[in-house]
Structure 1
């Protein structure tokens, strides 16, 4: 049996490794260690946490999530994500996880990306995963956590501090739930699908509506203004009605089966997807709550 750090043992007690996907459990634990390392290094003085993993970790979204997404508080083209790598690797090592970080250079992009990579089998053994489960994974399988920082973000968002207790108590600076909602709506309206719609976006949209959150139209406006092909030819006012028209257009274009396939491996109960259809999402759209009636584009 591996000698587990007591903080990791406490984190593992939240899961049942015979029921929960051990690969996703492992990734989630590593995500939280990375967040702790970033907080410890002062990263959240300059950036906020947002996206699906923020919903999962801070608001108990009932699905697993892959990436860590961040936005600077203010645009800064001189921001250097690599300055935090040493602290991330040090914290992971302190908790018994060996990893490397690979930086991905994107020319002519305001988004800085890096990947934390480690050996899945070694890490599963490190958290005392039962042998029959470990044996299901090839010895060469890598666990990857991508984290990205938008260095030129639309800045019209609300923010707040959230206390997170594992692996050690620390503060995370994040967007408000209403601004997070706006980011998700931007993804639903504007993400390029090619042939693979991201069902996780639609799952999260249902979650926001189910929980009665209001959509931050000010931040949505800023995001649409900065980047969205669907709005390139739209000038003047964009009302709630216009947003809903474009949302319903996206629903008509949505391949429901492919959307289900995308999200199914991230959720516990597949029955959550049974009602998914174009009619279902149109009904969801009609329930969206807006916190501003009209926005200027």
Structure 2
């Protein structure tokens, strides 16, 4: 049904092939969420991360990944159980899907200091059919990383959000304070090898600009789980701000800018990025 994709394209101002590629990835993500919702996925799992923030809270940067977390540990959870309905939902709007298991190497360019062995990782390969209204070659493959944390940190809080296209559906996702906790965990604890992940810092600015509070107990559980906090201590806003400032003094912000530029439309938003800028934001943020 090309008309569904055409309807979903109306919110984009696509001017070139690159714009259409990004639009297709975002549309495929929303169609996938609809399929997961139909399949009962959100009875067991919640959506979080940059893509959740973009789709449901208006973050103004592109995000390629789809990150999920089980609501509670479930040793019987099987992600492939949901692949058939994902494929059906995508086919219904003129998209084809191939799923590959993805093993994330500890030697990857951006190394995660909190890489968890109990995270299910897959790569969704999305291809438009020859009947697609998008001006993208039908043999072109767009990739979306799909991950599920099967050992979720405790004390996250959730809410339900709704979308109308490709058809009305509901998604369970982390609320903003819990999403912010996940982002602060990444910003503070992510290990860098050759590249600073500037997207973490861009999102931090966005959260502060929204006067977002943080779910401190959940952040503490995340940090405990990855060995970055002693469980005998209580994480407070004051202690968090000290950790943030220490992190900002360790960052090469030119590298951070280069990382995030492909994901945003207006690079002028990065002009002030510096240690002083981020420390000042931290001082002003109420936590």
Point out the more displaced range, 78-87 or 13-22: 13-22
Stretches of structure 1 lacking an aligned partner (at least 5 in a row): 291-297
Structure 2 Cα separation of the partners of residues 68 and 128 of structure 1:
22
Counterpart selection for 2:24 from 23, 26, 29: 26
1:115-194 maps to which residues of 2 (within 5 A)? Answer: 115-119=123-127, 122=128, 126-129=132-135, 134=136, 142-194=141-193
* TM alignment of 1:196-275, pairs within 5 A: 196-229=195-228, 231=229, 235-275=232-272
Paired position in structure 2 for 1:88:
86
Q: Distance in 2 between matches of 1:225 and 1:192?
A: 16
- TM-score of the two chains, using structure 1 as the length reference: 0.87
What's the CA shift for 1:237?
3.4
Match of 1:14 in 2: 11
Note the C-alpha offset of 1:77: 2.5
Partner of 1:54, secondary structure, is: helix
Two-structure CA RMSD over aligned residues (Å)? 2.2
Alignment deviations for residues 110-135 of structure 1 (CA, whole Å, 9 cap, x no partner): 1001111034xx56982333xxxx58
Cα distance in structure 2, aligned partners of 1:128 and 1:106:
31
- The equivalent of 2:122 in structure 1 is 114
Give ranges in structure 2 of 5+ residues lacking alignment.
Answer: 106-115
Equivalent pairs, count: 276
1:241 deviates by 2.2
Q: Which moved more, 1:79-88 or 1:101-110?
A: 101-110
- The counterpart of 1:38, out of the listed 36, 48, 64, is 36
TM-score norm. by structure 2 comes to 0.90
Change in 2 beyond 3 A, CA 1:281/1:34? same
Q: Structure 1 pair 100/208, CA: closer, same or farther in 2 (3 Å)? A: same
Counterpart position of 1:98? 96
Contact 1:67 1:145 in 2 (8 A): yes
Residue number in structure 2 paired with 1:293: none
Q: Is the 8 A contact 1:116 1:146 kept in 2?
A: yes
Question: Residues 172-202 of structure 1, C-alpha deviation per residue, up to 9 Å, x if partnerless?
Answer: 0011111111111111111111121111111
Determine the C-alpha separation between the residues in 2 that align with 1:207 and 1:228. 27
Cα distance in 2 for partners of 1:140, 1:185 equals 39
Contact 1:197 1:262 in 2 (8 A): yes
CA distance in 1, matches of 2:130, 2:255: 30
| Corresponding position of 2:53 | 55
The runs of 4+ residues in structure 1 deviating greater than 6 Å are: none
Asked if 2 retains the 8 angstrom alpha-carbon contact of 1:190 and 1:228, the reply is no
